[in-house]
A and B are shown apart, each in its own frame.
Chain A
Amino acid sequence: MWASILSRRQSSAPPPLTIHAPWAWPSWKKTAIKVIGVAGLLFVLMVGLALAGDPSGGSTGTAADVIAQTAGSPTAAEMAAEIGHVKISLNMFFLIFGGALVFFMQAGFALVETGFCRSKNAVHVIMTNFVIFAIGTIVYWAIGYAFQFGGAGSFATLGATEPMGALASVAPDWGVIGYQGFFLAGKSYDVAIVAMFFFQLVFMDTAATIPTGGMAERWKFSAFVVYGAFISAILYPIYGSWVWGGGWLAALGRNLGIGHGAIDFAGSGVVHAVGGFAALAGAMVLGPRIGKFGKDGKPRAILAHNMPIAIFGVIILVFGWVGFNGVSTLAATDLRFGIVIVNTFISASAAALASMFLVWKVWKKPDPSMTANGMLAGLVAITAPCAFVTPIGAFVIGVIAGVLVVGSIIFVERYLKVDDPVGAVSVHGVNGVWGLIALGLFADGSYGAGWNGVEGTVRGLFYGGGAGQLAAQAIDAAVVFIWAFGLMYIFFRIQKRIQGIRVTRDEEMIGLDIPEMGVPAYPASPHL
Chain B
Amino acid sequence: MKYIIAIIQPDRLDDVVDALTEAEINLMTVSDVMGRGRQKGEAEIYRSHVEPGNLLRKVKLEIAVNDPFVASALEAIVKGARTGNIGDGKIFVLDLQDCLRIRTGETGAVAIG
- Which residues of chain A have a CB within 8 Å of any CB of chain B? 1-3, 6, 299-301, 303-304, 359, 362-365, 367, 369-370, 406, 409-410, 413, 423
- Which residues of chain B have a CB within 8 Å of any CB of chain A? 44-51, 103-105
Given contacts A1-B105, A406-B48, 15 further A-B contacts (CB under 8 A): A2-B104, A3-B104, A3-B105, A6-B104, A300-B49, A300-B51, A301-B47, A301-B49, A304-B46, A363-B50, A365-B45, A367-B47, A369-B47, A370-B47, A410-B48
Tell me which of B44, B50, B104 contacts A303 (CB under 8 A).
B44
Instruction: Give Cα A2 to B48, complex, Å.
Output: 62
Q: Give the chain B neighbours of A423 by CB distance below 8 A.
A: 47
Instruction: Give Cα A409 to B44, complex, Å.
Output: 18
Count: A-B pairs, CB below 8 Å: 41
Q: A300-B51, A301-B51 are in contact. Are A367 and B46 (CB under 8 A)?
A: yes
Instruction: Give Cα A362 to B104, complex, Å.
Output: 63
Q: A300-B51, A301-B51 are in contact. Are A367 and B45 (CB under 8 A)?
A: yes
Q: Give the chain B neighbours of A413 by CB distance below 8 A.
A: 48
When the two chains form their complex, are residues A363 and B104 in contact, meaning their CB atoms are under 8 A apart?
Answer: no
Most chain A CB neighbours (cut-off 10 Å) among B44, B46, B104: B46
> Within the complex, what minimum Cβ distance (angstroms) separates A333 from chain B?
44
Closest-by-CB residue of A relative to B100 is A2
A-B contacts, 6 of them at CB < 8 A, read: A2-B104, A6-B105, A301-B49, A367-B45, A409-B47, A413-B48
When the two chains form their complex, are residues B103 and A6 in contact, meaning their CB atoms are under 8 A apart?
Answer: yes
Tell me which of A3, A303, A364, A410 contacts B46 (CB under 8 A).
A303
> Within the complex, what minimum Cβ distance (angstroms) separates B108 from chain A?
14
Q: Give the chain A neighbours of B50 by CB distance below 8 A.
A: 363
> Within the complex, what minimum Cβ distance (angstroms) separates B55 from chain A?
12
Q: Give the chain A neighbours of B49 by CB distance below 8 A.
A: 299-301
List the 9 closest pairs (A to B, CB-CB), nearest first: A2-B105, A301-B49, A301-B46, A365-B45, A301-B51, A363-B45, A410-B48, A369-B47, A303-B46
Q: A300-B51, A301-B51 are in contact. Are A369 and B104 (CB under 8 A)?
A: no
Q: Give the chain B neighbours of A1 by CB distance below 8 A.
A: 105
Instruction: Give Cα A365 to B42, complex, Å.
Output: 14
Q: Give the chain B neighbours of A370 by CB distance below 8 A.
A: 47-48
Instruction: Give Cα A3 to B105, complex, Å.
Output: 7
Q: Give the chain B neighbours of A369 by CB distance below 8 A.
A: 46-47
Instruction: Give Cα A483 to B47, complex, Å.
Output: 29
